[in-house]
Structures are given as C-alpha cells and as structure tokens.
Amino acid sequence: MSLFEKIQSDPPSWAGEKIASWEDVFTDEMANFVVRETVERGAYVDMRDVIGQSGHYEGQTWLEAAVSPRYKPSKMTRAFAMYEKNPDYYFNGQLVGDDCIVLSSLNGSGWYTDSGGNHRTVVAKFACDSLFRDAKVKGEYPRIHGALTRKYEVDLESKALYGELLKFAGKGISILLEHSESSKTTSVGVTVTAYETTFQVSDFRFNSAGRSQKLGAAQFRKFARHLLASDGKVSGWDRLRHLWKGAVRGEFDGLIYPE
C-alpha cells in the first residue's frame, strides 16, 4: 500500500490539525527586533515539530493538504509519487539546493516551512509518521536530513513596548529605530548572526528644544516602562530632574528616566 493510500485509509490523529501560518507568527514588524538568527544547513528535523507553513496550504488541515491541496494539486501528486520511487530521499541528505526544505522558528517554537518545500514538508510529515507506526521494533522517531533551518530570536518585550509608545507620537515623544548586524560567526554548516536594535528617542514634553538620547534595548525598556507608568505625563520629580540637570550640571540633552 502506498503512503498516499495509507493516509486516506488510516490517517494519523494529528492529520486533522490545521496548518498554522508563519506570517501570523513572524510579522513584518518583527524584523527590526531580531537579536539572533541561527542558520543550519543539512539539518536533521523531527517532523512532529513542524506545525505550519508560509502560504500554499496554511489554514488547511494536514490531511486536506495531502489529499485535496488547494495549491497546485499536481505538484503534491508528484511529491507523493517521488517518495514511492525514492523514499530515502528525505533521509539521506538529498534535500539540498532547489529541493531544500526551508524551516523557520520563532523563539524556540515549532517549525514552519518558509520559502521552500511546502509540498515536500506535507509528504515528509506523513512519511515519518508512517515509518514509525509500521516499524516492528519501535526505535527513535525518523528525522529528515538535509533541511535548511532558521531560528529567529526576537526581543518581543521591546517590540511590545515600542508599539505602546507609538500612542505618544503626538504628545512630544519621537522614536527612530535602527537595526543592524553586530556580529557573524560560521562553523561547519551553522551561521549565527547577531543583531542590535537601537532607539533614538526625542522627548519634547519639557520644552521645545527637547531632550534626546540613543538607547540600547535594555535602556529603552526602562525608559518605556517609566513613560507608560505615568501615561506619558511629566511628573513633578521628572521636571525637577530636568531643571536640576540643566541648571546645576549643564546637561540639556539626555532623557529623564530612572537609569
């Protein structure tokens, strides 16, 4: 019995789960808050950890994507046919180049097919399950070999605070983001790129000249929490610090917040 026939006659319990959307998880706004990206080529992947895709079959169940795919059904048919001809393809490192399955994850969450291999991912997910269930002696769960994986670590707290501070844009607070690469290291098959997000914050609540400062992520979070705690209003203590810094220390720049 072919893999496709097995799926139709006895689908696994997870086959009714919907394929999640990568775009719903990794939004465009997150790009400025990536702190580390780890790319591995030729990776081994447990397909039970693959929970979604970018486009194509997202929103369908895994079973629907296999037997009634809404995107190019002929490609899915060919993918199942290719598996029957060469089932080792998914396990011997042949998933490279144009045939690569590209998987992305956010902050250690499940994997999502992203920019390559959506239909092969569906086949591989069912194939690994079938091989494990058919094994007479249960060993380790089969893992595909040869995927390209991208792990994104995102500073979600800074992103959330930045979003909240936008409501003060018309109340004297201006923020400019800068996201840049800070380092890159490469070892065998793995590249780790670190990024830094800085926040150029200007505060015109004290006077028309304003106070401004470039903040790192940790500093920005402190400033943001301080601002939100007073709902953007200048406290008497903050005004005194502003006057004292200017009159006593001659510091007319720099933000006022508990550093």
Cβ-count burial 68-96 (b if 16+ within 10 Å, e if not):
ebeeeeeebeebbeebeeeeebbbeeebe
d(CA 111, CA 248): 56
CA distances from 231 to 157, 168, 176, 237 (A): 18, 9, 20, 15
Q: How do the domains of the chain map onto residue ranges?
A: 3-153, 155-247
What is the residue whose two structure tokens read 């998914």?
Answer: 90
Q: pLDDT tens digits, residue range 228-245?
A: 999 999 999 999 999 988
CB 32 within 8 A of CB 180: no
Instruction: Dump the DSSP string for 49-113.
Output: GEEEESSTTTTSBHHHHHHS-SS-HHHHHHHHHHHHH-GGGGTTT---GGGPPEEEEETT--EEE
pLDDT for residue 98: 67
d(CA 43, CA 47): 12
pLDDT for residue 11: 95
Share of the chain above pLDDT 70, in %: 98
Q: pLDDT tens digits, residue range 99-127?
A: 789 999 999 999 999 988 899 999 999 99
Indicate left, alpha or beta for 77 from its phi (over 0: left) and psi (-120 to 50: alpha): alpha
pLDDT for residue 137: 62
Q: pLDDT tens digits, residue range 200-231?
A: 999 999 999 999 999 999 999 999 999 999 99
pLDDT band at 163 (very low <50, low <70, confident <90, very high): very high
pLDDT for residue 123: 96
pLDDT for residue 195: 98
Q: What is the CA radius of gyration of the chain?
A: 25
Residues sharing a CB contact under 8 Å with residue 230, sequence separation 6 or more, in sequence order: 238
pLDDT band at 67 (very low <50, low <70, confident <90, very high): very high
> Across all residues in the chain, what is the average pLDDT?
93
What type of residue sits at position 213?
Q
Q: pLDDT tens digits, residue range 43-52?
A: 999 999 999 9
Residues sharing a CB contact under 8 Å with residue 136, sequence separation 6 or more, in sequence order: none
What type of residue sits at position 53?
Q
Centre a 10 Å sphere on the Cβ of residue 111 and count the other Cβ atoms it contains.
27
Q: What is the value of pTM for the model shown? A: 0.91
pLDDT for residue 159: 98
pLDDT for residue 252: 83
CA distances from 56 to 71, 121, 222, 255 (A): 6, 12, 41, 47
d(CA 118, CA 99): 11
Report which of 214, 147, 157 is spatially closest to residue 180, judged by C-alpha positions: 214
